[in-house]
Amino acid sequence: MGRYIDDILQPDEKVLYSTNAHWMFYLPAIFAWTGALILFALSRQTTTEGVVLLCLVAAAAVALVALYWTVKAWFRRWTTETDVTNMRVVHKEGFIQRRTFEIALDKVESVDVTQSIFGRILDYGDVTIMGVGEGRETISTIASPLEFRNHITAR
């Protein structure tokens, strides 16, 4: 299975910039894995049988949740593509149930970037593209939103 953009490129169309969902989707999984490791370490620090068993069971439960969140974040990043070509902006989300939108560059009226303080620090944010007669589309939690915007607006 190739990339979506490779399947829909028109003759003489070139990909200028590609980005993806930001890695911050892994943060819940990272915190959960850390919690599981702490619980496992606590089970090794104590000698009381009941507390050891409780810590090990809790560590296993938290590790299962962490595994679920890791796979969920990976799958979201794997199934999301955002590209700027020399003709249009293309965004695709999903695997079996797919949501896509495409806006011709000459129909783009404005590109707005919204970043929180945390988003500015980690370089992610939301990009809203408003098109002439095309409506308004928002791409959430995209990596390097300012660079993405610059590739759309630089003509």
Q: What angle do CA 96, 102, 105 make, to 5 degrees?
A: 160
Distance separating alpha carbons of residues 125 and 26, to the nearest angstrom:
15
How far apart are alpha carbons 81 and 6 in whole angstroms? Answer: 11
Write down the pTM of the prediction.
0.81
Residue 13 near residue 33, CB atoms below 8 Å: no
User: In this prediction, what percent of the chain has a pLDDT beyond 70?
Assistant: 99
pLDDT over 90 at 154, yes or no: no
Q: Considering only the top CATH level, what class is 4-21+81-153?
A: mainly beta
Residue 82 has pLDDT above 90, yes or no: yes
Residue 19's Cβ-count burial label (10 Å; 0-12, 13-18, 19+) is buried
Q: Is the pLDDT of residue 60 over 80?
A: yes
Domain ranges of the chain: 4-21+81-153, 26-75
First to last CA, the chain: 32
